[in-house]
Structure 1
Amino acid sequence: MPHIVNLLCILLLACLSPLAQGERLRLVTDDWAPYVYRDAGQTKGIDYEVTTEVLKRLGIEVEWQFLPWKRCLAMIEHGQADGVMDIFMVESRKAYLVYPLEPMSDVEFVLYQSSRQRHAIHQLSDLTGLTVGTSPGYAYGAEFTDAPGFRREAAPSHEANFGKLKLGRIDLLVTDRLVGRYLRRQLGLEQQVEELPLVISRQAQYLGLARKPGREELAQAFSAELRRFKQEPSYLAIIERYIGDTSHLPDAVEQQESSTPR
């Protein structure tokens, strides 16, 4: 099977236009740690490192630009960028975006609670009477949004939500699983904050390429090489560097900005 995958990659690369190989892609995104973010002026993140490595193997350099999410979408829609990182596959966007078949990452929205004040949460109805910390501009799925009986309280940042949870000002918080694990580790709260197994919602996020000549072939080559890279130890090593645990790699969810799917 590995030989077949290698042959497929070679054939796809051969199909790429001469301009595609050796070109420089301008990718836009916003801060979404630990997937892609800026730290002390340096670009970091799981999907950043994976994308950079995969495109390097395809002979393509990358220029990254961080902007508010709505600006990212506007730029890609109007052809002002070559691609956008960690975006939902939305049918209406296929008019101007080409999606590789392989997603960048599978993420999930889950709940976190204080170790000092535990709650038995097995379904959304168990949240009745509780206050759940959320982030403004994020969509957690209709089931969570429309569920009655509990209060949703927005905070200006993920870090602020963890602070409120630590102080007992909220009962739980909801965030992406890897984002929560990353922040819990960064904030030194691994012994004070627990992750609950209930999955609020899930969805895949992709590298979206601007629809231009040769991009369909590039998307296929990228997808094939990404699948191959995910089978290598170096892929898990990247994830471990950011979250320290790969025992429960999640399925999928994505950040969204108010009424604007990511």
Structure 2
Amino acid sequence: MFHYFLRRLSGRAGRMRATLCLAAALLVFASGALAAEPLKVVYPDYWPFFTRNDQGVMTGFFYDIVHEALERLGIESTWRTYPWSRCQALVRDGEADAMITVPTAERLVYAATHDDPFYLKQLKVFTTVDHPKLAEIRAIRSIDDIHRLALVVVTYHGNGWNDKYIRSRGIKTYDSPLLKNVWLMLANHRGDIAIEWPLAAWPLIKDGGVAGRIVETDVSLEAMPFHLLISRACPCADLLPEFNEVIKRMQAEGRIDDIIGKYVVRQ
């Protein structure tokens, strides 16, 4: 009887150990699967930063730079396009992991970033060829001049730079839900100026059929520093210091200049 009881106990203990081992193995497998999940990056379709070509392949120099830097760290990524305000909401709400933008105090509440920008976007002032204040606009030297001239700025919804440096100064701003419509609004005198990056602006201006009605001035305003922002809830946020080092190496190697050069030549 006593030996029978020991055999039963031993059998139950063995089954319990087997169950615990199986549970531990499943936990290890699950954690490994989570770690292997690609970084979910969201972006607004905006050539030449990021877009898909006719074959559905991701292209654009922001994509090329960040994708390569992530690959050097062994991080896979997936890229999905949404309107810009939706991109920010998805990262804020934890439904997406990352986006590429200018760090602002509001964005840094829910996302982390790295120290050094991987690209500085120089902004130029655009207006219409028949604007009554064209001479004064060409003479702008600072944002103070925009305020003094009581100019209305046309931009796109979710432009954090505009919110920080233009709208916050009390300068009247009209927002378009789509970036491409900024130029239609400007051409139709819905505002006085737009402040944008020429390399991306001119293809949209030409596509909108308003190239003959808009002029790019020589006025250059502050450059916009672009970073990768990762949700603070995402484990990959811990790798941002390493990402920063990779970016610095790519800059030192001339790799980032090479990537940008492909798109500048194409323009």
TM-score (norm 1): 0.64
* Higher RCO (CA 8 Å, separation ≥ 6 residues): 1
- The residue correspondences of 1:1-262 to structure 2 (distance < 5 A) are 24-40=38-54, 41-90=56-105, 93-94=108-109, 96-114=110-128, 118-119=134-135, 120-123=139-142, 124-125=144-145, 128=149, 132-139=153-160, 140-141=162-163, 144-145=166-167, 152=173, 154=175, 157-163=178-184, 171-180=192-201, 183=204, 189=211, 193-199=215-221, 201-211=222-232, 215=236, 217-244=238-265
Amino acid across the alignment from 1:28: V
CA distance in 1, matches of 2:169, 2:233: 42
Residue-pair matches, total? 227
Against the structure 1 CA distance between its residues 191 and 154, is the aligned structure 2 distance closer, same or farther, given a 3 Å change threshold?
Answer: closer
Amino acid across the alignment from 2:252: Q
- Per the TM alignment, residue 27 of structure 1 is displaced from its structure 2 partner at its CA by 1.4
- Per the TM alignment, residue 192 of structure 1 is displaced from its structure 2 partner at its CA by 6.8
- Per the TM alignment, residue 208 of structure 1 is displaced from its structure 2 partner at its CA by 1.7
Higher Rg of the two aligned structures: 2
Unaligned runs of 5+ residues in structure 2 are: 1-30
CA distance in 2, matches of 1:85, 1:108: 16
What secondary structure, in the 3-state scheme, does the structure 1 residue paired with 2:95 have?
coil
CA distance in 1, matches of 2:240, 2:220: 34
Root mean square deviation of aligned Cα: 4.1
CA contact (8 A) 1:29 1:84 kept: yes
TM-score (norm 2): 0.63
Unaligned runs of 5+ residues in structure 1 are: 1-16, 247-262
- Per the TM alignment, residue 45 of structure 1 is displaced from its structure 2 partner at its CA by 1.8
- Per the TM alignment, residue 53 of structure 1 is displaced from its structure 2 partner at its CA by 1.1
Give the fraction of aligned pairs with identical amino acids, expressed as a percent.
23
CA distance in 2, matches of 1:206, 1:181: 24
